[in-house]
């Protein structure tokens, strides 16, 4: 069961300048940074609020580290902006299976590694009314779905 908006992924050309905008404008601080080589991104996670399923909602700022990455390709076509949304679940495997059974293309056979040791998969934007949609189970403890 999807129980929160886990994050909104925002593609940018310059991670440090974008981090500074979010800090100076809204007061959001960086909680975590990492490079995800598999996804081809350098990212900063800004923690916005906790959620009642035991997780949290984040802004994920993304700068490509490779020209052949999904984010680099998207930036070249669209410029900076909202790249994807992510829903949080305690069971990414089960939810991906259920959503795939409805005819929505799930991009990975098995979830891959996302921010902070989470497990992630993606739904094809063309099957989701134009929205690239991620499903994520965080590495931290979450309350089991009621």
Catalytic residues, by residue number, are 7, 43, 60, 84, 134
Is residue 84 near ligand CMX by the rule CB under 6 A?
yes
What is the C-alpha to C-alpha distance for residues 32 and 97, in angstroms, rounded to an integer? 30
- Which partner, Co ion, ligand CMX, none, binds residue 98 by CB below 5 to 8 Å per kind? none
C-alpha angle 31-37-43 in degrees, rounded to nearest 5: 25
Q: Is the dihedral of CA 26, 34, 138, 62 positive or negative?
A: positive
Distance in Å, CB of 5 to Co ion, minimum = 11
Q: Give the pairing of strands 56-64 and 41-50.
A: antiparallel
Between 81 and 144, name the residue whose CB sits nearer to Co ion.
81
Is residue 38 near ligand CMX by the rule CB under 6 A?
no
What is the C-alpha to C-alpha distance for residues 58 and 114, in angstroms, rounded to an integer? 13
Contact pick of 10, 12, 15, 41 for ligand CMX (by CB under 6 A): 41
Distance in Å, CB of 9 to Co ion, minimum = 4
DSSP 8-state class, residue 76: H
- Contacts of 55 by beta carbon, 8 Å cutoff, 6+ apart: 3, 4, 6, 88, 138, 140, 142
Is residue 114 near ligand CMX by the rule CB under 6 A?
yes
Distance in Å, CB of 84 to Co ion, minimum = 6
Distance in Å, CB of 115 to ligand CMX, minimum = 6
Provide the binding-site residues for ligand CMX, judged by CB under 6 A.
9, 36, 39, 41, 60, 62, 70-71, 73-74, 77, 83-84, 107, 114-115, 120, 122, 124-126, 130, 132, 134
């Amino acid at each position: 069961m999807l129980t929160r908006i886990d994050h909104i992924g925002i593609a940018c050309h310059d991670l440090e300048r974008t981090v500074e905008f979010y800090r100076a404008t809204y007061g959001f601080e960086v909680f975590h940074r990492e490079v995800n080589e598999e996804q081809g991104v350098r990212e900063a996670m800004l923690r916005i609020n906790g959620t009642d399923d035991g997780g949290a909602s984040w802004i994920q700022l993304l700068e490509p580290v490779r020209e052949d990455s999904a984010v680099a390709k998207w930036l070249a076509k669209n410029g900076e902006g909202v790249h994807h949304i992510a829903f949080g679940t305690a069971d990414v495997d089960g939810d991906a299976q259920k959503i795939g059974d409805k005819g929505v293309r799930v991009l990975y056979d098995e979830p891959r590694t996302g921010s902070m040791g989470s497990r992630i998969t993606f739904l094809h934007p063309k099957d989701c009314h134009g929205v690239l949609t991620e499903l994520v189970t965080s590495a931290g403890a979450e309350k089991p779905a009621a």
